[in-house]
A and B are shown apart, each in its own frame.
Chain A
Amino acid sequence: MTEIVLVITATGLMVALLSALLGVFVIWQKQSYFGATLAHTALLGVALGLLLQVDWQWLVIATALFTGWAVHTLLHRTRLSADTLLGMLAHSTLAVALVLLSYSPVQVDINSFLFGDILSVGPSDLLLTALLLLFSLLFMQRHWRHLLNITLNEELAFAEGVAVARVRLQLILLLSLVIALSIKVVGVLLITSLLILPPAAARHFSRTPEQMLLGSLVLASISVLGGLALSWQLDWPAGPAIVVVATALFLIALPFRRA
């Protein structure tokens, strides 16, 4: 029993760190709707997995990566605004996924995908999340300054020698992976809030990008650990409990506004 709890806690904690790491850029580059869209399309991966009777985790990862790449490419080639494109994609794929789920040979509880199902987390999730965390940390360490410059002004970054297109695509693919792996912990509908609430709260008392990242890492960790504890003690659903804690932390941080 303690081993299961340990696996769940460790996976949850790493999901927290991952979402904080990527979440700061979601906020800085105004991509929260993009995150939400990726999460919605992940449900299509779930539906396909159940239909084809293969482990849906891998199809979710594949779908998320494909969507990330497709949106990244389409955004530069269409006359539609990002807002429209993402809105269409998010809800059309959700609809298709729900229709496909009705054909699923096994009876599924859709709620576990929408709001997370922490008890389904196993050692393979722990391993996968750990690998992704390691990879993300290396990526950020290498491209942190590049990413900040891209966030400031893409053309300026390019003129100064940053491989803008490549780094931006890598960031988006990384975000796709983080969302795909977070679904078991917080679910499709709540992952965006885990991405944006901790950095938004940390913004209030940060004067540098690094302070904001550090604040986000701490706040996201508290949210996940607090949410899991509440779920354990009061039998709350884990995903929503995590987001409730994150929201509470955001509200507490409000009065501490600095420049």
Chain B
Amino acid sequence: MDFTLHKGEILTLIGPNGAGKTTLLKLVLGLLQPTDGRLWRKPSMTIGYMPQKLHHDPSLPLTTARFLQLGLKPKQPLDPYWIEKIGVTAYLQQPLHSLSGGQLQRAMLCRAVMRQPDLLVLDEPLQGVDVQGQAHLYRLLVEIRETLGCAILMVSHDLHLVMAQTDRVVCLNGHICCSGTPQSVREHPEYLRLFGEQDTVFAIYAHHHDPDRCASHGTHSHD
């Protein structure tokens, strides 16, 4: 597996469950060490990370504003531009544990973005977000990239909405099945084999994974 992520690029990892998307993300973040192979990260890079879930315990009293500030340097003020843009204003002074799932996700995104990262890493940012919210999020990501000039790496199950705004899609299934512009990946025979042909934008996710056909790509295991 070999790929490069450049500054200012939006790259989306897609692939079925167990394909290694999260593992790759953890390697990039340094949470896991590669057992084999090489990983080069630009030295002293600022990373903004939006995890899938926070698992915040209500015994720790924290307002949303304080949660955002903890991602910054001590005493660094919050940037009202992103708070407004990402839509966190309304619950800034509310306790973190009282937020809904979607509100918490926006708060996590806001924290990651306010760090002014060189690399923004988003782990399944679409989970539990409705279709309207997804469209909003993609417009937001493009704007974040344009304003900060950062690279964005995200993991998604979603296929079509992602592709509209992504520069490059890497389709994983234990190895890189295929990669390229959204359009080229979409027409790639490997991709079609993995996900099947989908005509409608809101097609229900169907994972057609045929071990026999995949076996020709070398050694990797399936669950």
Contact B63 A28 (CB under 8 A): no
Q: Which of A145, A149, A211 has the most CB of B within 10 A?
A: A145
A155 & B70 in contact (Cβ 8 Å cutoff): no
Interface size on A, residues (CB 8 A): 23
Residue of A nearest to B26 (CB): A155
Residues from chain A with a CB closer than 8 A to the CB of B29 are 155, 158-159
A156 within 8 A of B: yes
Assess whether A160 is in contact with B63, with CB atoms less than 8 Å apart.
Answer: no
A156 touches B62 (CB 8 A): no
Instruction: Decide if A155 touches B51 in the complex (CB within 8 Å).
Output: yes
Report the bound CA distance from A208 to B61 in whole Å: 5
Q: Which single member of B62, B95, B121 contacts A159 (CB below 8 Å)?
A: B121
Stretch of B52-60, B78-86, B163-171, B207-215 that contacts chain A: B52-60
Query: Are A208 and B31 also in contact (CB < 8 A) when A156-B49, A156-B51 are?
Result: no
Chain B at the A interface: mostly helix, strand, loop or mixed? Answer: loop
Q: Contact check, B59 vs A27: say whether CB atoms are below 8 A apart.
A: yes
Total contacting residues, chain B, CB less than 8 A: 26
Restricting to B39-67, which residues have a CB under 8 Å from any CB of A?
A: 47, 49, 51, 54-57, 59-63, 66-67
Within the complex, which residue of B31, B49, B67 is in contact with A152, where a contact is CB–CB below 8 Å? Answer: B67
Cα–Cα, bound, A211→B62 (Å): 11
Residue of B at shortest CB range from A208? B61
B71 interface contact, C-beta 8 A: yes
| CA A212 to CA B60, docked complex, whole Å | 9
Q: Could you tell me the distance between the alpha carbons of A27 and B54 in the complex, rounded to whole angstroms?
A: 17
B218 at interface, CB cutoff 8 A: no
B70 contact set on A, CB distance < 8 A: 145, 148-149, 152
Residues of B at the A interface (CB closer than 8 Å) are 26, 29-31, 47, 49, 51, 54-57, 59-63, 66-67, 70-71, 74, 94-95, 98, 115, 121
User: What are 20 A-B contacts with C-beta separation under 8 Å?
Assistant: A30-B59, A148-B70, A152-B67, A155-B29, A155-B51, A156-B54, A158-B30, A159-B29, A159-B49, A159-B121, A160-B71, A203-B61, A206-B61, A207-B95, A208-B61, A208-B63, A208-B66, A209-B60, A209-B61, A209-B62
